[in-house]
A and B are shown apart, each in its own frame.
Chain A
Amino acid sequence: MLQHDVVVVGAGLAGQRAALAAAKAGRDVALVSKLHPLRSHSGAAQGGINAAIGKEDSVETHIYDTVKGSDYLGDQDAIEFFCQQAGPTVIEMEHFGTIFSRGEDGSLARRAFGGAGFPRTIYAADRTGLALLQGIYEHLATETIRMYDEWFLLSIIVRDGRAQGITLFDRKTSKIEGIAAKAVIIATGPFGRMYGRTTNAHSCTGDGVAVAYRAGANLKDMEFVQFHPTALLESSILITEGARGEGGILKNAQGERFMTRYAPHVLDLASRDVVSRAIVTEVKEGRGFPGGYVHLELMHLGKEKIESRLQEICDFSRTYAGIDPVTQPIPVSPAQHYMMGGIGTNMMGETNIPGLYAAGEAACVSLHGANRLGGNSLLETLVFGKQAGLAAAEYATKAGDAMLQPGDLDREAARFQALWNRKDGESPWAIRAELQQTMDKLVGIFRAPEELFDALRAVRRLQERYRNVRVQDQSTTYNIDLSDALEVGNLVDLAEVIVVGAIARTESRGAHTRVDFPTRDDQNWMKHTIARRTPGGPELSYAPVAFTRFEPKERVY
């Protein structure tokens, strides 16, 4: 059995920042990741990271924008701390070696992002996530941290009222191991792959969130799912807002510039949720293209502008949709993009289980409330990754030795054997395909009660079918049939929590739009959803939102 003071699961930005903080605090740290750290999905972020460092900007307005963006569901104490940390965090990343884009005077360049009062998004060309991921990974090498690259989390062991470690397996050999640790930090990132239409990578399957949920951790605000309006048809690869920022326009199948109906003033540049709803409405009312999409036209901008300013988008469209945006419209439709919900934590990354911490997209502090602002989640991974790392390190100095038991590993070994031995079960992909269809169709941008109930029935049927899932590939070397089976099981359980939360919340707030309750209801719903696992499914309770200075107002842009 392996032993460390602190084990961090997930080596995206959040996990690496947590590991760095815990190691700097002098703890013996293990960093576990099912992918090589540099392959984490954080690297796919394009736009940038928010910090109010411009002279004309202020931390105060960043706080206000975030509170308003959250549709008043974000905890204001957490948001205040978060925005205060933004400047120092970005500067620290720069000092670690991150290469940011610069202005003529040598300062960090900034761009405007949706929902922000000032241009406060710091960036590295159109690959900010990659720049940050390289920056932190390369800095991490200056600390002693035990890396478990391509090891996969199976369970969190909670005994005597505290987390005592994890079980995991080495993907190269399928060997099951245990790591006893005084503190466990979950930073396994997003879970968008329960949708077929998602901008997320294939690896975004919420493993850590599902595993923590099974271990008794509370999940928070899971019903809030952000959709991005313009993802490429088929592949769902993100086409950034920049395309519309440069003058791109959306048209329906009848050639109409339909945004005139939904946002007569800002048109195509309206906020994400507004544009997403507009596209879905066009398609529902029969004005979309067959297959359910609209066109994003750039042609009128001219070849030169398109190829110089929108290089990546050109490349994506040509490679992944087989169309040339210089001469043809880009087929786009909304896709799942970000999960506001996750493992419930406080500002120190602590969960309801002593010794268990969470950070990054896997966690819910709550900062983004009902709707995340672009550029805030990269910042969140770093600010709260560090918090969790510090808190876990401190806890580990005080806590007694952690211990696992042989039974902890035996249970997982038996699970593997069952998956392998089943002769005529279901394939993981069949279950995943149906889950994705269900979520795409029934738990999308507009949510109708009867559809949500259908979705719940479908998801529960899939949970039932999942009991009979089967791994056909019998190899123990890098078996992705096996990891797929585990991932699908995690997605199905998280989908259930999302649907149950969405059924219960009878209001529309941020990204959660109920057709039968079209307005925000502060009287009854200004509160966080908390989901706890029981044998009969998630049990919901509610927790108050922290207010410091901003009273809820109607959210108009």
Chain B
Amino acid sequence: MAAAEEKLTKFTEESLVTVPFDVYRYDPAKGGEPRYQRYELRLAPHTPVLTGLLRIRDEIDPTLTLRYSCRSAICGSCAMLVNSKSRLACRTPVGPEVQAHGRIVIDPMRNQPILRDLVVDQQPFWTRYEQMEPHLILDPSKPMPADTPTRMSPAQVERFRDTPRCIACGACYSACPAVEADPGFPGPMALAKLYRFVVDPRDSATQGRLKKIQTSGLWLCLRCHLCTEACPKDVRPSERIRDLKELAVQAQGGTELGSRHAIGFLNNIEERGTLNELKLVRQTAGVGGVLGALPQGLRIWRKKPEITKAPPPIEGIDQVKKIYQALEDKKEGQE
């Protein structure tokens, strides 16, 4: 932090708290093992984690590296794990973290190769985004109105929901278990982006987009909502994925593999509040399907062996049921 900013701080010494940071350090080029390094700072409780990390870098250890730029949750540079959760460092205050965990453990984002310290290689994330063909596809026989903007009602703009707020930070991608389990899954951000183009009245490839995504990973989403929980901009990717599934079913009828999966999913999750993946595959595809899904199942199993065991009901199953109820109510309210 710049000394000039510090000088302006209105907080007195008493309101500061001691913040122990345990920061992940690793330089693959140098070899050796990843380790955590402890740094301690005295900070006002509302100080963003990013400010803390920059002070460490400026005043204690210039070898720490990370990405950052805007410091106001708009450039999407500073996503990382703060006490194991995918967060933007610049909009996570230190106080509540210290209160809940006694310290702040900082790791690089998950699901992306680590380049060094907190910097990951985001290429896989960008590639999946690009695979959604995230640009308007126009029908040459229906050009844009010349010299005038397209008319779009506020209701049509409303249909984008919060997807235009996405800052491509990757927090959702880092939090997503389906990304971890399956390299063929586009990830929450890419799917939210696809939704944004599917509902765009200017785009003429809606049907093609929906058809393509049915077989390119749409149904691999586990509906765990971890992406929505992680998203700092309230884009709510999991809800848009749900919308995409509905649109896909509407467009192509309930014959696709995935829509049967969806029905199986609902029954399944209401029982236990979490997925019994094996049972789900059985419900979706029948016994032959279980065999057919084996390669994917094996991939998942290699990374997460616990997934093939019947999971116990999760903590707070009542809340899960309530969430479902609330979602249903909300949907009805919209119609």
Residues of A within 8 A of B (CB): 35-36, 38-41, 43-44, 88, 90-91, 94-97, 99-108, 124-125, 127, 130-131, 134, 138-139, 141-142, 172, 195-197, 201-203, 233-237, 289-293, 316, 319-322, 331, 333, 427, 429, 432-434, 436-437, 440, 471-481
Contact = CB atoms under 8 A, between A and B. Distances in A.
Interface in B78-132: 91, 93, 115-117, 119, 121-122, 126, 130
Interface string B136-147: 100000001001
Contacts of A290: 10
B75 interface: yes
Given A235-B72, A440-B4, A322 B45 contact: yes
Interface stretch (B164-172, B259-267, B268-276, B301-309): B164-172
Contacts of A105: 151
Given A99-B160, A333-B8, 5 more contacts: A95-B149, A95-B202, A139-B135, A427-B58, A472-B62
B2 A44 contact: no
A90 B150 CA distance: 11
B106 to A, nearest CB: 15
A138 B134 contact: yes
A153 to B, nearest CB: 16
Given A104-B154, A197-B5, A433-B3, A478 B119 contact: yes
A38 B125 CA distance: 13
A35 B165 contact: no
B266 to A, nearest CB: 32
Interface string B257-300: 00000000000000000000000000000000000000000000
B164 A124 contact: yes
Contacts of B27: 475, 477
Interface stretch (B34-42, B63-71, B312-320, B325-333): B63-71
Which has the most chain B C-beta neighbours within 10 Å: A95, A100, A141, A473?
Answer: A95
A233 B167 contact: no
B70 A41 contact: yes
A8 B219 CA distance: 41
B72 A44 contact: yes
A481 B75 contact: no
Closest 10 CB pairs of A and B: A196-B4, A322-B46, A106-B151, A429-B58, A196-B2, A433-B3, A473-B63, A477-B116, A138-B135, A201-B70
Given A97-B202, A201-B70, A437-B4, A107 B151 contact: yes
A124 B165 CA distance: 10
Contacts of B93: 319, 322
A472 B63 CA distance: 7
A475 B135 contact: no
Main secondary structure on chain B at its contact with chain A?
A: loop
B116 A478 contact: yes
A88 B147 CA distance: 7
Contacts of B149: 90-91, 94-95, 100, 107-108
5 contacts: A44-B74, A105-B151, A196-B2, A202-B70, A322-B44
B75 A319 contact: no
B9 interface: yes
Contacts of B153: 102, 104, 106
A472 B58 CA distance: 11
Contact of A331 (B10, B119, B144, B156): B10
B234 to A, nearest CB: 10
Which has the most chain A C-beta neighbours within 10 Å: B5, B9, B93, B154?
Answer: B5
Contact of A203 (B9, B48, B69): B69
Contact of B48 (A35, A106, A320, A427): A320
B4 A99 contact: no
Which has the most chain A C-beta neighbours within 10 Å: B93, B154, B156?
Answer: B154
Contacts of B157: 99, 101-102
Q: Interface size class for chain B?
A: 35 or more
Contact of B65 (A95, A102, A473): A473
Interface string B183-207: 0000000000000000010100000
Given A39-B69, A43-B75, A437-B3, A478 B115 contact: yes
Contacts of B200: 97, 99
A180 B74 CA distance: 34
A127 B69 contact: no
B177 interface: no
A328 to B, nearest CB: 12
Given A35-B77, A94-B150, A475-B65, A319 B160 contact: no
A202 B152 CA distance: 37
B52 interface: no
A478 B62 CA distance: 12
A481 B62 CA distance: 6
A35 B69 contact: yes
A475 B69 contact: no
B76 interface: yes
B135 A473 contact: no
Given A96-B136, A291-B8, A475-B30, A316 B72 contact: yes
Interface string B1-38: 01111011110000000000000000111100000000
Contacts of B76: 38-39
B81 to A, nearest CB: 18
Given A138-B134, A475-B30, A130 B167 contact: yes
B134 A197 contact: no
A233 B10 contact: yes
Given A43-B75, A331-B10, A475 B29 contact: yes
Given A201-B75, A321-B46, A436-B2, A234 B136 contact: no
A80 B11 CA distance: 49
A439 to B, nearest CB: 9
B4 A233 contact: no
Which has the most chain A C-beta neighbours within 10 Å: B9, B28, B122, B168?
Answer: B168
Which has the most chain A C-beta neighbours within 10 Å: B126, B135, B153?
Answer: B135
Contacts of A88: 147
A91 B147 contact: yes
B148 interface: yes
